[in-house]
Amino acid sequence: MTKLSVNINKIATLRNARGGNVPNLIQVAKDVQKFGAQGITIHPRPDERHIRYQDAYDLKPIVSTEYNIEGNPMDNFMQLVLEIKPTQVTLVPDAVGAITSNAGWDTVKHKDYLKEIISEFKRNGIRTSVFVDPTLKMIQGAAEIGTDRIELYTEEFAKQYSMGKKEAIKPYTDCAILANKLNLGINAGHDLSLENIAFFKENIPSLLEVSIGHALICEALYDGLEKVISEYLKKLS
C-alpha cells in the first residue's frame, strides 16, 4: 500500500488567520493519525505564514507515524531538522516569497550542494527525499547525490488529468521505472486529490508515499476529515 502523509499547513493557515489556537494544530495531527493516515507533513517557510518553527518542535512528540518536514535547506531550516530529527526531510527549492512549491531541483546543476546537504542529514539518521520534476535527467541526477528517495512534482499531471488528458501520466511512469532501477524510493505530491490519486497510483510502480494537503483539506470541508482520509486510504490500497 502507498502511504498517505497528510500535509497540515492549511490547518496552520486557518489558525493564523484569526490568531489564537483554533483550529488546534496539535489536535488535528492527532486526529489525522487516529483516522488512519500513515504520516504528517509540514512545510515551514521563513516567514512562518502557516507552520511556525515552534509548531515543528511541538509536533515532534505527537507524531507517532512518520514525520516529514519539507523545505529549502537554508541555515534555519537545517538547524530545525537536525534538532528535531524527523523520519524524513524533503528538500524543496522554493523561493522565499513563493506562495507554494512550483519547481523541482535541478539535480545536475546543484549536484555538489545537494550531496553536501544530504550527507549531513544522513549522518544524523534522517531519511532524505528530493523534490524533482518528472524528467529522466533529474532522476539520474538524484541517484548521484545520495538521496534515499525522490518526490515527483505532480502539478502538471493534475492539471492535464483534470482536462481529460490521461497521457500526462507517461513521463511520471517513465521516471518511476528509472528510479526503481536506480534503487531510489518514490514519493509524490502537489495537487493530487481524490479525483486523480487512484489513476496516479495505478501507473506509478512502487509508489511509496504521497503527501497531500490542500486538496484533502478542501475536500474535508464538505465531507469531513475522517471520511476523506478513509477514501484516500481505499484508493491507495
Residues 6+ apart with CB under 8 A from 223: 231
Q: Report whether the peptide linkage leading into residue 73 is cis, meaning its omega lies within 30 degrees of zero.
A: no
Nearest to 68 by CA among 23, 12, 29: 29
Is residue 110 marked as binding? Answer: no
Distance of CA 224 to CAs 184, 208, 221, 228, Å? Answer: 35, 25, 6, 6
Q: Is 110 one of the annotated active-site residues of the chain?
A: no
Is residue 214 marked as binding? Answer: yes
Q: Is 190 one of the annotated active-site residues of the chain?
A: yes
Is residue 50 marked as binding? Answer: yes
Q: Tell me if 31 sits within 8 A of 2, measured CB to CB.
A: no
Q: Is 70 one of the annotated active-site residues of the chain?
A: yes
Q: Tell me if 191 sits within 8 A of 214, measured CB to CB.
A: yes
Q: Grid coordinates 546537504 are at which residue? A: 117
Is residue 16 marked as binding? Answer: no
Of 66, 151, 190, 219, catalytic: 190
Of 70, 151, 209, 219, catalytic: 70
Tell me which amino acid residue 133 is. Answer: D
Instruction: List the end-to-end C-alpha distance of the chain, in Å, as a whole number.
Output: 5
Is residue 191 marked as binding? Answer: yes
Q: How many helices (H) and strands (E) does the chain have?
A: 11, 8
| Nearest-angstrom CA–CA distance, 80 and 100 | 20
Q: Tell me if 175 sits within 8 A of 139, measured CB to CB.
A: yes
Q: Tell me if 200 sits within 8 A of 175, measured CB to CB.
A: no
Residues placed in the known binding site for 1-deoxy-D-xylulose 5-phosphate: 45, 50, 100
Residue list, annotated binding site for 3-amino-2-oxopropyl phosphate: 7, 18, 191, 213-214
Residues forming the active site:
43, 70, 190
